Amino acid sequence: MNSRTIPISVDPVQTVLDNGLKDLWYPVCPSGFVKDQPVSMKRMGRKLALWRDGAGQVHALEDHCPHRGAPLSQGVILGDRIACPYHGVEVRCDGMVTKVPGSPGCKLEGQHAAKAFHVKEAFGAIFIYNSDDYAKEPKPLVLPEELTSDAYSNFLCYAEWRSDYRYALDNVMDPMHGTFLHKQSHSMSEGDSKASFQVRETDNGFVFEKVGQRGINFDWTEWADTGCHWMRLEIPYPKTGGPGGNFAIVGCVTPINAELCAVFFWRCRKVSDWMRSTWRFLYRNRLEARHWAVLEQDRIMMEQMEPDANSRENLYQHDIGLVRLRRHLKHLAEEQVEASGS
Amino acid sequence: MSQERYLEPHQARTRMPTLFEDLLGDSIERAFGEGVTTLPELVAYLNRVGPSGERGEAWTEEGFQALMKRLGD
Ligand code: FES
Ligand SMILES: [Fe+2]
């Protein structure tokens, strides 16, 4: 092998894992990324074209015109349809070609020739259903109460990390790094630097937690599958954060390509009344910058990991959370490959 | 090859904070740090330690709540 050899994954299970499991909702970007012009973005190993219609509804097609592959995202929005810039072919949000202006009545008209995706907008983000079959009814998108309940308030933090998305998942499933990597942070300086962990099953996934320590540091992390893969954790706030519940993070990681991933961290707090608006004021004024500094420690660490670091590891007890998740995702990928009959 | 990617430390605010907001934030954090947990205590703390309201006025519970709503929500 010379250094120019590009490893090509031929294992279909690996391919599913590399691009993200199918039949799941993935957040792809903050809502504000899609305004009045179509946008192109790579997600889940695919190029997508996203746009809003006149009513503000977001639509997504593969950014590849069914005629000859020009980027639809360069085209013109016609409500729930988009006209390709190259020869004017019009494609509807469900993938059907509605008009071929250069050859009216040709057999491409009426065909579902473009790849379409179901879209939802929630909690400040745009979610795409990663499926090969638009006709298949998507699963409902269910997210945890920190986002859905009025008792909580949240801010989304979105970032793009130059790392395979699985390192970002591993990082969240590894609470012990809080004690070391974030030792100097505003919220994680307490707690035992030695701990044993256990896995506890939940209805939709599992919790990975420190035995006998809760509410002191980053002491537990949860992974769940509710039509979307998400993670949740809690970190105590210093007293200066004011009255209110712990600080919770709901996280999702979406693959972009092998070198890049999109991370979504909703920073949530159970606060009401004046405590809610005061927390929100402090978050805007100063807490966001402190949380960002902590997240930068994670990003820099993730970006410095060699792409194949996870093929040469010596894991120990702190790592059973991420081992458990890797195994589970691999198992899901195997099931999907089997079900697709390849 | 590196491509453009999004890394924006400030996603929640829509403009730079004002000096008044920074001073107020400092004072609120100090109050919480000293154990203040209720609105009357916080208003009393601000009236004792400062800063005073946006136009130099004394803090009231209503005034504080209205300002936080405007700046936070
Ligand atoms: S490539 Fe799109 S219309 Fe021809
Ligand atoms: Fe971290």
For residue A259, which amino acid is it? Answer: E
Of residues B72 and A212, more confidently modeled: B72
A159/B17 Cβ within 8 A: no
A114 pLDDT band, cuts 50/70/90, is very high
Residue B4: alpha-carbon gap to chain centroid:
34
DSSP E strands in A31-96: the ranges are 39-43, 46-52, 58-62, 76-78, 81-83, 90-92
Q: How far is B28 from chain A (nearest CA, A)?
A: 8
For residue A30, whether the previous peptide bond is cis, meaning omega lies within 30 degrees of 0, is no
A277/B12 Cβ within 8 A: no
A162/B10 Cβ within 8 A: no
A with B: how many residue pairs have Cβ under 8 Å apart? 90
For residue B64, which amino acid is it? Answer: F
**Mutate: best of B22, B26, B29, B41, partner A, most A CBs <10 A:** B29
A278 to chain B, any CB pair closer than 8 A? The answer is yes
Q: Provide mean pLDDT across the span A188-203.
A: 80
Q: How far is A100 from chain B (nearest CA, A)?
A: 35
Of residues A336 and A341, more confidently modeled: A336
Q: Provide mean pLDDT across the span A315-331.
A: 95
- Give the pLDDT of residue B1: 44
Per DSSP, the residues of A264-300 read EEEEEEE--HHHHHHHHHHIIIIIHHHHHHHHHHHHH
* pLDDT tens track for A141-172: 999 999 999 999 999 999 999 999 999 999 99
Closest by CA position to A124, among listed A102, A95, A147, A91: A147
Domains of chain A, first to last: 22-130 (2.102.10.10), 145-332 (3.90.380.10)
Beta-bridge mates of residue A269: A153, A247
Given a cut of 80, whether residue A215 has pLDDT beyond it is: no
Which residues, at least 6 apart from A309, have a Cβ–Cβ distance to it below 8 Å? A167
Structure tokens at A9: 């994954």
A240/B33 Cβ within 8 A: yes
Closest CB to B12: pick one of A274, A277, A288: A288
The sign of the CA dihedral A313, A315, A318, A322 is positive
Our mutation pick for probing the ligand 1 site, out of A61, A86, A99, A111, counting the most ligand atoms within 8 A of Cβ, is A86
Residues of chain B in contact with residue A261, where contact means CB-CB under 8 angstroms, are: none
Provide residues with CB under 6 Å of ligand 1: A 65, 67-68, 70, 84, 86-89
* pLDDT tens track for A82-93: 999 999 999 999
- Give the pLDDT of residue A333: 98
Given a cut of 80, whether residue B3 has pLDDT beyond it is: no
A302-310: long-range pairs with CB below 8 Å, 24+: A302/A161, A302/A163, A302/A167, A302/A168, A302/A171, A303/A161, A303/A162, A303/A163, A305/A163, A305/A167, A307/A164, A307/A258, A307/A259, A309/A167, A310/A166, A310/A167, A310/A170
Structure tokens at A282: 């402090």
Q: Which of A22-26, A241-245, A257-261, B31-35 has the lowest mean pLDDT?
A: A241-245
Q: Provide mean pLDDT across the span A196-225.
A: 88
Given a cut of 60, whether residue B2 has pLDDT beyond it is: no
**Placement of tokens 């809610």 in the chain:** A276
**Mutate: best of B1, B2, B4, B5, partner A, most A CBs <10 A:** B5
- Nearest 5°: the CA angle A99, A100, A105 is 85
Closest by CA position to A232, among listed A213, A258, A250: A250
Residues of chain A in contact with residue B68, where contact means CB-CB under 8 angstroms, are: 274, 277-278, 280-281
Sheet holding A197-201, edge to edge: A152-161, A260-270, A247-257, A229-235, A220-225, A205-210, A197-201
Q: How far apart are CA A222 and CA A134, in angstroms?
A: 30
A150 to chain B, any CB pair closer than 8 A? The answer is no
B62 to chain A, any CB pair closer than 8 A? The answer is no
Q: Provide mean pLDDT across the span B18-30.
A: 98
Given a cut of 70, whether residue A190 has pLDDT beyond it is: no
- Give the pLDDT of residue A320: 94
A188 pLDDT band, cuts 50/70/90, is low
Q: Which ligand is nearest to the CA of A295?
A: 2
- Give the pLDDT of residue B4: 80
pTM: 0.94
Residues of chain B in contact with residue A290, where contact means CB-CB under 8 angstroms, are: none
Q: Provide mean pLDDT across the span A225-251.
A: 93
A1 pLDDT band, cuts 50/70/90, is very low
Of residues A213 and A316, more confidently modeled: A316
With a cut of 0.95, is the ipTM above it?
yes
Residue A248: enclosing H or E segment and its boundaries?
Answer: strand A247-257
Q: Is A161 helix (H, G, I), strand (E, B) or coil?
A: strand
Q: What's the mean pLDDT when you consider all of chain A?
A: 93
Q: Provide mean pLDDT across the span A102-122.
A: 97
For residue B32, which amino acid is it? Answer: F
